[in-house]
Amino acid sequence: MEINKLERYWLIAVGITLGAFVAATIVAVTVFGIRLPAPVERIDPQRLDQTIFAKPGVRKIADNRYEAVIVAKSWAFDAGPEAGNPAVLRFPRGSQVTFYVTSKDVMHGFQIEKHTLNLELVPGQVARASANFNRPGTYHIICNHYCGAGHQVMYGVIIVE
């Protein structure tokens, strides 16, 4: 069976394109550490007061390792009374922070600028992801999923000292 010259070129082009996609995926996973977030658990959003989200905030778990428990609700990220509104979280340089985030009411987004951390928050689902803060500076937490009339005022700040 003979393959037409133009068909052969198209098969080669498709093979090269698929190879490039596979190579890009391997580089993204191995070099840049990009992972799909997996849901940690499911909870009842009406009973957050009976879970770890009853007292949101930042907890130090080891040297330069922290856990941040955050509740997204209509137009605010609640990270505990010490964080204020809008939430301001402070970490020392070189910290590894694991975020546990959920939504109390509607779907929200949770994106940290200048990082690959980008979560979609679904009511009743706990999202977990970790980020390393190696450079001092100010990083904004952005709700990147339209959540209603006050969406534009829903943000937080991470200050790395």
Rounded average pLDDT per 10-residue block, the chain, 161 residues: 90 97 94 73 88 92 94 92 88 95 94 91 91 94 92 93 92
pLDDT value, residue 38: 62
Closest to 39 measured CA to CA, from 96, 147, 119, 118 = 119
List of residues 6+ apart from 2 with CB closer than 8 A: none
- Please give the structure tokens belonging to residue 32: 């840049």
pLDDT value, residue 40: 63
Domain boundaries, the chain: 1-34, 39-160
The CATH class of the 39-160 domain is mainly beta
Q: Indicate left, alpha or beta for 124 from its phi (over 0: left) and psi (-120 to 50: alpha).
A: left
3-state class (DSSP) for residue 86? coil
Is the whole-model pTM more than 0.95? Answer: no
Dihedral sign for Cα 8, 14, 20, 25, please.
Answer: negative
pLDDT value, residue 39: 57
Provide the H-helix boundaries in the chain.
5-30
pLDDT value, residue 81: 87
